Homo-oligomer: A and B are copies of this chain.
Amino acid sequence: MYLHVQRLIHDIVADEPDPAAANALQEGLGGQFGEMRTMMQYLFQSMNFRGAAAKPYRDLLQGIGTEEISHVELIGTTISRLLDGSPRYNGKKTDPLDTPGAGGDTPLRLALDEGNIHHYLVAAQGALPVDSAGNPWSGSYVYNSGNLVLDLLYNLMLESTGRLQKCRIYEMTENKTARSTISYLIVRDQAHENAYAKALETLGVDWGKLLPIPKTNAEKFPEVKKLVDLGLQSKQYTFDLTGLSEAGKIFRGMSPSNDGTELDASEQAPEGVPSTIADERFEEFAPGLDPELLSLIQATADIEMAEVQPVYGPVEPTKGS
């Protein structure tokens, strides 16, 4: 069972809208090696897991899989922010439609030239479950062989490929919003790469100097370096509210990435940052333009709400933090 925290797992840095960068980031969300895939793959591997004696491996998969849901949330929100407002349409509520936008263009003219037209035509300047070439995410991506060693080997390759592609995305854009999220995911992918490499070490493999893959200068990207200096590539959270996770039996000892750090699984979750709600976009008819409905919604928002009974954790502690 899963619970949600109304906070993002990592901060998103503000910058100008950038639909081309948004489209590149779609690979990290809905691509064959993106976050939707890792999330679903580890969720299936956890559900179908066999062998009580191997529970630490199951818990490692379950914990990383839970983190990936938050990564979907993070990169999806980042894409939305990169798209939001990109048409530079300046419509006011009083006269919203068909008024020329920046440069005299029709309000959504930009959609014909940039990235994926579906970002405007279908998704109202929001994220889509597709890759950067527009292919919808497919269940056929999920790998779960039933053989633990093969699953671990695949996962190692999967995290490395995800990181490789994110390094390339970093090289495609200077947009700070895009780079900050990509950098965070690069470091977390490396943490997961370390997790699977270490799991294979417990089964006898000695990686020598092979890891990480790519063994790049990516650590020198300023945003990445900052997080690596904090040791984020060597930390794995349990994301577990029951205290039953045994992932720490595997994720410990020297990092297989040869950076001299020690792996640490002693934290439940990062603190996160507050999440916000985007503005209405009238040129997308989303959700706007209807005063009567807006007033009904506002009426709903003004009603007092019953107090919720907590079962799985404090309802208050992070509120307002």
Contact = CB atoms under 8 A, between A and B. Distances in A.
Interface string A46-65: 01111111111110001100
A301 interface: yes
Interface in A246-279: 246, 248-250, 252, 264-272, 276-279
A15 interface: no
B144 A126 contact: yes
A187 interface: no
B72 A147 contact: no
A179 to B, nearest CB: 10
A2 B136 contact: no
Contacts of A30: 139
A137 B127 CA distance: 18
Contacts of A54: 277, 287, 297, 301
Contacts of A173: 106, 109, 112
Contacts of A13: none
A1 B171 contact: no
Contact of A53 (B76, B200, B298): B298
A117 B24 CA distance: 8
Given A127-B47, A134-B135, A286-B147, A308 B268 contact: yes
Interface string A140-156: 10101111111001101
Interface in A134-187: 134-140, 142, 144-150, 153-154, 156-157, 160-161, 164-165, 167-174
A160 B36 CA distance: 25
A173 B113 CA distance: 12
Interface residues of A, number: 182
Given A80-B47, A123-B48, A210-B204, A66 B24 contact: no
A40 interface: yes
A208 interface: yes
A245 to B, nearest CB: 7
B5 A124 contact: no
Contacts of A149: 210, 213-214, 287, 293
Contacts of A27: 117, 121-122
A49 B272 CA distance: 20
Contacts of A36: 40, 139
Contacts of A5: 1-3, 240-242, 312
A243 interface: yes
Contact of A277 (B49, B112, B250, B301): B49
Given A44-B126, A209-B292, 9 more contacts: A1-B272, A2-B4, A40-B129, A47-B80, A50-B280, A51-B297, A57-B297, A242-B315, A312-B318
19 contacts: A4-B62, A4-B241, A5-B240, A6-B242, A21-B112, A32-B140, A36-B139, A51-B288, A97-B217, A106-B172, A118-B133, A120-B168, A126-B146, A149-B210, A150-B213, A205-B208, A242-B315, A265-B305, A266-B308
